[in-house]
Amino acid sequence: MISANGWSRRGLLAGTAILTAGGAVAAREDRLADGVVILIDSNEPYVMGHAISYSANLSRHFAERGARLLIEVVANGKGIDVFRADKTPLVEPLAMLRQSVPNLTYSMCASSKTIAEAKEQISIPLIPGANLVPFGIGRVVDLQLKGWAYIHA
């Protein structure tokens, strides 16, 4: 059933569960998150740079506590440019980060890639180490439901 404001009860409960899962993980000192998912949905260089620095800083922060944190950077929409070998201005920093943070994964939305390929009439090459996920936003929600914390770059 849809409420007067357009939200279904199920949608509100699911949204609350997602927010709670992300917030609860970050709030409890006695339980570290299994991981952190960072969403990039912009092709602005400063946004892409923030995602890189967030990944490096989070890895160092948890390493200082003696913990190993899984980190996944998910590129969606215009954000796929970060992992495009033909467009990213960050090939070297991304490669260096992957070498220094072995628990880091780069994922690109396959749906966004397909849309961009159709629009540009080209095959989009990925940077080394990046992989495709069917839907970027679906990957973000899947990880949140598993207890991962969420950061929007």
pLDDT in tens, the chain (153 residues): 333 433 333 333 333 333 334 443 343 444 555 899 999 999 999 999 999 899 999 999 999 998 889 999 999 999 999 999 999 989 999 999 999 998 999 999 999 999 999 999 999 999 999 999 999 999 999 999 999 999 998
CA distance 21 to 104: 21
State which amino acid sits at residue 114: T
CA angle 30, 140, 31 (to 5 degrees): 5
* CB within 8 Å of 9: residues ≥ 6 apart: 1, 3
CATH superfamily of 9-152: DsrEFH-like (3.40.1260.10)
The pTM assigned to this predicted structure is 0.78
* pLDDT for the residue 32: 54
